[in-house]
Structure 1
Amino acid sequence: MTNTDTFNHSSETVKILTYNLNGIRSALSKGLVEWLSQNSFDILCFQEVKATHDVVDLLPFEELGYQYHWHAAEKKGYSGVATFSKLPPDQVVLGCGMSIYDCEGRILRTDFGDLTLLNCYFPSGTTGEIRQTVKMQFLDDFFDYVQELRQTRPNVIVVGDYNIAHTAIDIHDPVRNKTSSGFLPEERAWLTKWFDSGFIDSYRYKNPDKIEYSWWSYRAGARANNKGWRIDYISVSEPYKDHIVAAGHLPDAVHSDHGPVWLEVAR
């Protein structure tokens, strides 16, 4: 694989899935592997795996042709991201070099040729003011980290649970949630800055007016009534925009309180 050939394999396109599992062992018990065996993806980016790799039976993934890279949190049963790929990455980097976030297992980088893929789990601010402050600091630090990375790696895809709904179309009740973490004005403004800085919201790029969500509360039948939030994204840097073929959600996959989001890119 060379730096001029992003994906050196036979298919004309590559399918990337991002999925907050809210515990990989829980998702496996709900049929995740069976679902994956019927839905072909080249790269799987999981967030909130809540486990270290050694306590999970990963043989079923290997039998489907995936190799994996894992960045667990130091705290047991918390956070963590993992990337499974049928394509061998050229480089794998655990974390972003900032210990405050790396100890929570929030960012996993894999390079495929001239493409850099960041699998990310942004902090949630729903537990109170302290974590909301951490979230806002993460947003600023992450923005700077990615802008610096783009100086040498211009083709970047950033997938994961951003824990922010961007606009009113991305949340079932924007009025009553205007003071809720995940839809605060300063969080939404950050996402606007993010997309203005040279990233494409791939789902919205291909589906400008469609209303779909990627997370539903477990309370009050929210999922059954589709009262959700779109907080999981696949951002594609501007230089790579022309590679976007299709993007969407798979809300019928029920292994978590989140649903999977996917992107198909041309090689």
Structure 2
Amino acid sequence: MKFISWNVNGIRACLKKGFLDFFHEMDADFFCIQESKCQAGQVELELEGYEQYWNYAEKKGYSGTAIFTKHSPLSVHYGVGEDESQEEGRIITLEYADFYLVNVYTPNSQRDLARLPLRLVWEDRLALYLKELDAKKPVVYCGDLNVAHMEIDLKNAKSNIGNSGFTYEERAKMTELLESGFVDTFRYKHPNETDHFTWWSYMNKVRERNIGWRIDYFIVSERIKEQITTATIHPHIMGSDHCPIELQLK
């Protein structure tokens, strides 16, 4: 099974920059997007053979997630409980016979870290939710998680310590999750490789020089890690300030 995840930074803009070419080229079983930035009825995608599940933010032009899948789920769930995450359209869970697929757009802590307290509460609630699902069947958890976990996951680690997305608190939450029975699929397949990033600033020539961060992930239940055949990044695919990532499971 092939899974793709991509923060498209606005699906309407990305459609004008080759989204459908990449979508059809990948021919994925599951194609997850984050930061769709649209409301119901603002975009119509003709994706033959795919069912579409959208979670729209209440605020226009903000956040939002979607999953396009060739496989009908047993159930669909939006959000985690009755918290702000549902208002912002940040989570979709599809249940299948053998696993759960959870597509997430994690809140950014903001440049001044004003949203860091909310972010840490989010992390705790989401971790509890993932572990509850994992107790029933394996989980495939993906999306823009807005954290570079280790120094190897961004170009200029030392100068970014304490900045949004690379605070000790955010990184510790990722460590806690992984230590509770989950695997970062890219690091499982590429444990020591450097200069692999999924997001680049729009500042002048930053992407050309590959000064980036790896903040988009596929994370799976540890007990299915032997089923990972491919975990890769597609840095040459344009259309967003993020690039797509790919996971293949037996």
TM range (shorter): over 0.9
**2:157 aligned partner:** 174
Give the CA deviation at 1:246: 1.1
**1:87 aligned partner:** 71
Give the CA deviation at 1:208: 1.1
Whether 1:215 and 2:199 are equivalent positions in the alignment is: yes
**1:45 aligned partner:** 32
1:185 aligns with one of 154, 168, 187: 168
In structure 1, what is the Cα distance between the partners aligned to 2:188 and 2:93?
24
Give the CA deviation at 1:226: 0.2
Question: Are the equivalent residues in 2 in contact too, given 1:117–1:156 (CA < 8 A)?
Answer: yes
In structure 2, what is the Cα distance between the partners aligned to 1:176 and 1:225?
17
1:32 aligns with one of 3, 11, 19: 19
1:143 aligns with one of 119, 124, 127: 127
- Which shows bigger deviation, 205-214 or 141-150? 141-150
Give the CA deviation at 1:150: 2.2
Alignment of 1:50-129 (within 5 A): 50-59=37-46, 62-63=47-48, 65-129=49-113
**1:156 aligned partner:** 139
In structure 2, what is the Cα distance between the partners aligned to 1:244 and 1:109?
20
Local SS of the residue matching 1:188: helix
Report the CA distance shift for 1:87/1:128 in structure 2 as closer, same or farther (over 3 A). same
**2:118 aligned partner:** 134
In structure 1, what is the Cα distance between the partners aligned to 2:59 and 2:231?
34
**1:259 aligned partner:** 243
**1:236 aligned partner:** 220
Give the CA deviation at 1:140: 1.4
- Structure 1: 5+ residue stretches without partners: 1-13
Question: Are the equivalent residues in 2 in contact too, given 1:124–1:163 (CA < 8 A)?
Answer: yes
In structure 2, what is the Cα distance between the partners aligned to 1:129 and 1:156?
30
In structure 1, what is the Cα distance between the partners aligned to 2:185 and 2:146?
17
In structure 2, what is the Cα distance between the partners aligned to 1:114 and 1:183?
34
In structure 2, what is the Cα distance between the partners aligned to 1:121 and 1:260?
14
2:2 aligns with one of 11, 15, 27: 15
Question: Are the equivalent residues in 1 in contact too, given 2:103–2:141 (CA < 8 A)?
Answer: yes
TM-score, normalised by the number of residues in structure 1: 0.90
**1:226 aligned partner:** 210
In structure 2, what is the Cα distance between the partners aligned to 1:216 and 1:98?
33
Give the CA deviation at 1:209: 1.6
The Cα offsets for residues 121-168 of structure 1, whole Å up to 9 and x where unpaired, read as 0000124333222112111111122222222x2300110011000111
Please provide the CA RMSD for this pair. Answer: 1.2
Number of aligned residue pairs: give it: 249
Local SS of the residue matching 1:176: helix
Question: Are the equivalent residues in 1 in contact too, given 2:111–2:164 (CA < 8 A)?
Answer: no
Q: Percent identity?
A: 39
